[in-house]
């Protein structure tokens, strides 16, 4: 299983066309949405063989370029993984480091947390892992945003 670009030893994994890194996928969608762009499936279609088993860290770097092309820069990112298992605490610092490096941010501008649903729902029963992400974007100084942005 890969979360935040970190390989986590676990007897189960996540299914997806890329590496199925649900944490980075949530982050990418937050970045694209905050900059008024389409979702990640529009840029990296699940049927496109170029993206089969690709690292989501690589896709995150490409999303950063898309956001930058809209004259935005990422100020910070806050994410949470929702899972009953595996225990993620030992991997959080590595996830933060991967994300900060990919976004070209200081470590302090990236937050990754893990929580459970106390046994409730798909995540609580270990049938799924979910993630939520929030990003703060800022218009680049000295550049005018296009009309409608």
Q: pLDDT tens-digit profile of 75-98?
A: 999 999 988 767 789 999 999 999
In 28-145, beta strands by DSSP E: 72-82, 110-115, 130-139
What does the DSSP 8-state code read for residue 3? E
The CATH H-level (homologous superfamily) assignment of domain 2-139 is 2-C-methyl-D-erythritol 2,4-cyclodiphosphate synthase (3.30.1330.50)
**Mode of pairing for the β-strands spanning 6-7 and 130-139:** unpaired
pLDDT band at 50 (very low <50, low <70, confident <90, very high): confident
Across the range 42-68, mean pLDDT stands at: 88
Supply the mean pLDDT for the chain.
Answer: 84
pTM attached to this predicted model: 0.86
Q: What is the pLDDT at residue 136?
A: 96
> Count of CB atoms within 10 A of residue 64's CB?
19
pLDDT above 70: residue 26? yes
């Amino acid at each position: 299983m890969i979360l935040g670009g970190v390989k986590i030893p676990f007897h189960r994994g996540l299914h997806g066309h890329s590496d199925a890194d649900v944490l980075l996928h949530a982050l990418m969608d937050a970045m694209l949405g905050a900059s008024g762009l389409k979702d990640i499936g529009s840029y990296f279609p699940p049927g496109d063989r170029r993206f089969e088993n690709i690292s989501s860290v690589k896709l995150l770097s490409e999303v950063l370029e898309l956001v930058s092309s809209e004259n935005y820069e990422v100020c910070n990112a806050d994410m949470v993984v929702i899972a009953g298992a595996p225990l993620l605490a030992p991997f959080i610092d590595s996830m933060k480091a991967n994300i900060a490096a990919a976004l070209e941010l200081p470590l302090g501008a990236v937050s990754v947390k893990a929580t459970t649903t106390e046994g409730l729902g798909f995540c609580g029963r270990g049938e799924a892992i979910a993630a939520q992400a929030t990003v703060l974007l800022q218009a680049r100084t000295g550049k005018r945003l296009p009309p409608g942005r």
